[in-house]
Amino acid sequence: SSELTQDPAVSVALGQTVRITCQGDSLRSYYASWYQQKPGQAPVLVIYGKNNRPSGIPDRFSGSSSGNTASLTITGAQAEDEADYYCNSRDSSGNHYVVFGGGTKLTVL
Amino acid sequence: EVQLVESGGGLIQPGGSLRLSCAASGFTVSSNYMSWVRQAPGKGLEWVSVIYSGGSTYYADSVKGRFTISRDNSKNTLYLQMNSLRAEDTAVYYCANYDSSGHYSAFDIWGQGTMVTVSS
């Protein structure tokens, strides 16, 4: 099955812009979705499809894609954005599997 | 309000069986794609299984042949029957609504999770 690779940790200064990336062959065929997870809580979907935000997700979250790399951008990071972020996509093998990235710990300084 | 509530987790010995339940409210389980995702302590998310609205089921290689996903339409509830449990199955198990348009897959509604601990 496919794999998705994320940087384990990223940091950003309060109010600055940060990009979290996700790489994998399946991203050449499918858009990534992105999840925010805070300690002790269930994941929350923040971006899906080409660049769609579920209701209630601030517009400082955006998504993009190029080749085998998907990116989640937070423009003007806030303290409450400190969390783990995961990407996922369908497996491109046609086997109906779903794959997740290993996650990125975002620290807001 | 759209909500998923899992139950059935607990401590189980290696080789044992456990059935997780996920009660849905605010939407119909049988009309949607539903999935189980797990997270081992301190680790990332791992997809476990999916059941499509038509009834087709798929499993991660790590659980194939041991886990069975199903639903009870009358109870609007999703299940995960877990047999031959191993220590590496220890995790928080989340049920989630799975939105798959063809060009993306997204888990847009999540339960709070239920902890499964496999240990002697």
Read off the pLDDT of residues B55-75 as tens digits, 9 standing for 90 and up.
999 999 999 999 999 999 999
Q: pLDDT tens for residues A35-63?
A: 999 999 999 999 999 999 999 999 999 99
Report the alpha-carbon distance of residue B79 to residue B72 in Å, rounded: 8
Contact call for A48 and B108, based on CB within 8 A: yes
A79 touching chain B per CB within 8 A? no
Contact call for B58 and A95, based on CB within 8 A: yes
Contact call for A43 and B50, based on CB within 8 A: no
CB A87 within 8 A of CB A34: yes
Alpha-carbon distance A33 to nearest alpha carbon in chain B (angstroms): 6
Q: pLDDT tens for residues A87-106?
A: 999 988 877 899 999 999 99
Residue B22, helix vs strand vs coil: strand
B106 contacts in chain A (CB < 8 Å): 33, 45, 48-49, 88
Residue A1 pLDDT: 60
Report the alpha-carbon distance of residue A42 to residue B25 in Å, rounded: 17
Report the alpha-carbon distance of residue A84 to residue B87 in Å, rounded: 25
Q: How many CA atoms lie within 13 A of A61 on its CB side?
A: 22
A35 contacts in chain B (CB < 8 Å): 45, 107
